[in-house]
Chains A and B, each alone.
Chain A
Amino acid sequence: MTTETTFINDEYKYGFVTEVEADTIPKGLNEDIIRMISEKKNEPDWMLEWRLQAYRWWLNKEEPQWPMLNFEPVNYQDLRYYSAPKKMADRFKNEEGKIDPEVKKTFEKLGIPLDEQKQLEGVAIDAVFDSVSVATTHQKVLEDLGIIFCSVSEACEKHPELIKKYLGSVVPYTDNFYATLNSAVFTDGSFVYVPKGVKCPVELSTYFRINAQDTGQFERTLIIADEGSYVSYLEGCTAPMRDRNQLHAAVVELIALGDAQIKYATIQNWYAGDKEGKGGIYNFVTKRGHCRGKNSKISWTQVEAGAAITWKYPSCILEGDNSTGEFYSVAVTNNCMQADTGTKMIHIGNKTKSTIISKGISAGQSANTYRGLVQVLPDAFGCRNYSACDSMLMGDQCSANTVPYIEAENSTAVIEHEATTSKISEEQLFYIKSRGIDEENAINLVVNGFCKEVFKQLPLEFAVEATKLLEMKLEGSIG
């Protein structure tokens, strides 16, 4: 029998734990563990070989020290690198694999119905529980258009040519400490391929859920938009409340070929730890998009509202002439949360354009840093960038930093950068309250207004979700 424990908590309602029998491997990290993961996933030899190369590279790497973050070092030997609901473990060997009912219930509680008849209209979802993808919805609609939307493990098996061609082509395994670690031990994630000229008619979405204790989540997402295609992708994430820190080190690679467009949105609500900063997710993520073809476009939108520590810079390599990169971000930190997040826009092609809109909101004793790089290479002519980084402080114990790097090596580049820091003002709150609106709602109005430019990039229902999430996160942070 399985049981379910729910922790009642207003601040983090996704903090419950699902009791499922898990198929796990021993703690620790070495070549045998990696072989074990690869075997569990029934991978071809070339995949195992790639993982081992990454692992050997990782052994000689050190954690980056430059972010403005303070945390206890992670003991990588004390982590478990694979955990799957037991009944699902054989999924890739057995065509008839049904989803564990407890896991299904978990996703329903998170608002993600997996049953065919209850599925959200217009959104195809890949649900990832701990280390494996447990269900992918709306398969039929997508298949008819030739769109591949499945777990990375499944793609390795069914579409090895695409995996071989694109995996690691934007974020190589040598990239950085966490991305290298991910390359060695990644367990699952989503794979998307949109064929030439196809506009994907539904939003594609992945929902990540960390459940097991002392388990790292290392998912890997790979999205390829072939020439002239379009796809919009959303990811959401939650985890139970635990008093120990958990590691989430994901890698996301996006590839847009000529005239293709990818929109990638994240609503991140990992458990952030308690008020004193105990527990919470370490969110060390490498996300990068590559505009390979002419006129291609990649947009990142992120609402970072959870995790004890966020270290994340969704970036665009603008190689194709006239390609466009966009980054819209809202990062909210409260209590003892720390965020060091931003983007990199690398202008390689001529007439490439990029836009960066970053909104940081800090409350409690939290620290919120925007870190960004705009780089224009010497032979990239006629490039433009516009950056606006605004910070809002609530209370007087939090901090906000803006660290913009601009490296323009071509004199035709036009780069604009604006930055503001404001405190939520007493005058503003009094004005709104004098119209009958109470303090909590007055703050919500001001904060939502502040984030408006970013929220309007999200599909409507997710914008509503993001608005509510912010309200929840900042509850009681003034006064």
Chain B
Amino acid sequence: MSEKVYFEIRNLHADVEGSPILKGVDLKINKGEIHAMMGPNGSGKSTLSNVIMGHPSYEVTEGEILFGGQNMVELAPEERAQSGLFLAFQYPVAVPGVTTAKFLKSAFDAVHGEQNIKAIAFLKELRANMKYLGVREEFINRYMNDGFSGGEKKRMEILQMLTLQPQMAIMDETDSGLDIDALKVVSKGVNKLVSPAFSLLVITHYERILNYIKPDHLHILMDGKIVFTGGSETVKKLEEKGYDWVREEYGQEVLAGREEASKV
């Protein structure tokens, strides 16, 4: 793996309950790049993000996920996070009885080591990030995602990302269900992290978010495979023409595969 290629997926195949969802995904992300991944319903987008993070319901049957010189497939989810990977969930999970502050401090300590930051400094930083994302201060003592609205949960995912400072993040449909103002705030948060040392994979259903988080490359996933890779100009094309041109270009194979997937 060259110095520049930071995150690489090679020939990734994955099953859920015995049925194959990912059928040979190849993807290279260089350090500092932003990639977008789009695709119709059932194409395997969420499966890909779950597999990258190591969800126990998905089984990798073939292939590798290389990050920082390690094959992530062999690591537990927490080890993947500790090596600098982050997933912003499409459906964040509530942890009743555990405050946002407690949750984030535990996560920070697990990723960066307990000695690295004092509680007071940590809280100061957390408050600053909350303010930046327009999250009300009371959320610091609310239980993680417990009774949060959809939009609040999504903001909380980005707050976690800002707190943990990963080197590589995957955003799984973070934009779904957000109004335009919330989308702007979330994007603002993500852009704060963007740097030559940070790589990002934005998985989305809609082009909208890509007006705020500008990708260097765009991939289209269909039936468990990346069928098209292009530059940022592709965003406009998709916006105007939808996925039809992709289907035309890649023929019946993709269409048939897609129908099959949508039945699942």
Contact = CB atoms under 8 A, between A and B. Distances in A.
The answer to whether A and B assemble together is yes
B40 interface: no
A127 interface: no
B97 A431 contact: no
Nearest to A456: B97
Interface stretch (B11-19, B105-113, B239-247): B105-113
Given A430-B55, A436-B81, A441 B89 contact: no
Interface stretch (A10-18, A266-274, A444-452): A444-452
Nearest to A432: B95
A104 interface: no
A433 B56 CA distance: 11
B81 A426 contact: no
A432 B77 CA distance: 9
A437 interface: yes
B76 A431 contact: no
Nearest to B89: A431
Contact of B78 (A425, A437, A449): A437
B167 interface: no
Contacts of B130: none
Counting chain B CB atoms within 10 Å of each CB, the highest count among A425, A433, A446, A453 belongs to A433
Contacts of A430: 53-56, 77, 93
Interface residues of B, number: 30
B95 A431 contact: yes
Contacts of A438: 76, 78, 110
Nearest to A445: B98
A303 B83 CA distance: 38
B60 to A, nearest CB: 15
A396 to B, nearest CB: 16
A449 B106 contact: no
Nearest to B163: A435
Contacts of A437: 78, 106-107, 110
A434 B93 CA distance: 11
A287 B97 CA distance: 29
B93 A435 contact: no
Interface string B148-183: 000000000000100010000000000000000000
A453 B82 CA distance: 31
Given A437-B106, A438-B110, A448 B97 contact: yes
Contact of B110 (A435, A446, A448): A435
B73 to A, nearest CB: 15
9 contacts: A433-B81, A434-B53, A436-B107, A437-B78, A439-B78, A445-B102, A445-B103, A448-B98, A449-B96
Interface of B: 53-57, 76-78, 80-82, 86-87, 89, 92-98, 102-103, 106-107, 110-111, 143, 160, 164
Interface of A: 425-428, 430-439, 441-442, 445-446, 448-453
Q: Which 7 A-B pairs rank lowest in CB-CB distance, beginning with the nearest?
A: A449-B97, A452-B97, A436-B81, A435-B107, A436-B110, A436-B111, A431-B93
